[in-house]
């Protein structure tokens, strides 16, 4: 998959326009000059608008969040539902990782990703735009967090960097990093899937999302991993109990169907990326485990990355 968006499309458009203007200039130089000035002004305005939406300095986003301008904040992070960026108001009912309208409950997709969302890890040899290069630049939007809550995020990042040194999270550099991840106190736990270009988000609500395992779970989404139970070989390990799952959540239990999906390792019941057994809303079992000697209490754990999780990440970013 090759992604053309924003400034790339504008550049292609400008090249074609300038070629046509060159041909016009050979016959009607005055008309060509007037056309050039008119077209260039419009194209530059479009280019500036594209760059504004795609590349925004984090300080500006922090200011929008701090002053309660959540509509603009969500627009620049390309989050359609503004309620997802407003801080949770405490005593929230339900699991903050199950957000209606998000893929899998906690994956925020860009429009160009939606048709390939359940094809596992969305990378291929040709799809270099979605894979981070060497490290993940990040910034923590401290608005809405206490100092101890910020420390929890920093501790999880340190743990990640210690255990998976080949794809570290590093503080964003204004000079070198146009693409970056912003951790912020949104309404629920969710993340973009892989590197999407420009500013992107990891929402960690102060009300329920700051356990170490949950933070590592969302960080894993941000480098491109989906949920373990969506693997195409899932039926060898689970039987989905559709009768216990609300109709509007059934699609979240679909299998990946891509023939060339990279599994990168064995099925891991205890993966930090695995769904818990209770179904959203009903709390009834959403699946039955088919393998023997599996500790059911550990399925859906959010304590931390397993050895298998780490090995898969190392393979992808080796």
| Residue 218 known to be catalytic | yes
Give me the half-sphere count of Cα atoms (radius 13 Å) on the Cβ side of residue 189: 25
Answer yes or no: is 217 a known binding residue.
yes
259 with 294: CB under 8 angstroms?
no
Minimum mean pLDDT range among 29-38, 255-264, 283-292, 308-317:
29-38
Q: State residue 143 phi and psi, 5-degree precision.
A: -60, 130
Counting residues of the chain whose pLDDT is more than 70, the rounded percentage is 75
User: Model's pTM, two decimal places?
Assistant: 0.80
Q: Which of 62, 212, 218, 228 is catalytic?
A: 218
The CA-atom distances, in angstroms, between 233 and each of 36, 240, 263, 268, 306 are: 57, 13, 9, 12, 20
Give 241-274 pLDDT, tens digit per residue.
Answer: 999 999 989 888 988 766 545 678 999 999 999 9
Among 247, 253, 244, residue whose Cα is nearest residue 283: 244
Answer yes or no: is 227 a known binding residue.
yes
pLDDT score of 318 more than 90? no
Give me the half-sphere count of Cα atoms (radius 13 Å) on the Cβ side of residue 68: 0
Among 84, 299, 62, residue whose Cα is nearest residue 209: 84
């Amino acid at each position: 998959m090759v992604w053309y968006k924003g400034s790339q499309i504008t550049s292609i458009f400008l090249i074609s326009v300038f070629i046509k203007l060159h041909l016009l200039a050979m016959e009607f130089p005055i008309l060509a000059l007037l056309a050039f000035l008119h077209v260039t002004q419009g194209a530059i305005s479009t280019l500036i608008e594209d760059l504004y939406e795609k590349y925004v300095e984090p300080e500006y986003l922090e200011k929008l969040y701090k002053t309660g301008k959540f509509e603009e904040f969500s627009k620049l992070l390309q989050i359609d539902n503004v309620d997802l960026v407003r801080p949770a108001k405490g005593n929230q009912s339900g699991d903050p990782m199950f957000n209606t309208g998000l893929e899998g409950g906690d994956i925020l997709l860009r429009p160009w990703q939606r048709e390939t969302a359940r094809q596992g890890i969305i990378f291929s040899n040709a799809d270099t735009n979605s894979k981070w290069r060497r490290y993940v630049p990040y910034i923590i939007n401290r608005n809405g967090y206490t100092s101890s809550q910020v420390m929890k995020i920093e501790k999880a990042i340190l743990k990640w960097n210690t255990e998976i040194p080949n794809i570290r999270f590093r503080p964003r550099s204004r000079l070198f990093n146009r693409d970056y991840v912003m951790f912020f106190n949104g309404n629920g736990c969710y993340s973009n899937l892989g590197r999407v270009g420009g500013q992107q988000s990891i929402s960690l609500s102060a009300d329920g999302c700051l356990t170490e395992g949950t933070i590592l779970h969302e960080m894993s989404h941000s480098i491109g991993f989906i949920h373990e139970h969506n693997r195409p070989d899932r039926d060898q390990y689970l039987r989905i109990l559709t009768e216990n799952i609300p109709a509007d959540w059934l699609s979240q239990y679909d299998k990946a169907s891509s023939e060339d999906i990279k599994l990168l390792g064995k099925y891991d019941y205890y993966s930090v990326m695995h769904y818990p057994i209770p179904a959203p809303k009903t709390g009834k079992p959403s699946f039955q485990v088919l393998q023997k000697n599996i500790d059911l209490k550990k399925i859906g754990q959010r304590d931390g990355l397993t050895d298998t999780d780490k090995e898969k990440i190392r393979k992808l970013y080796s």
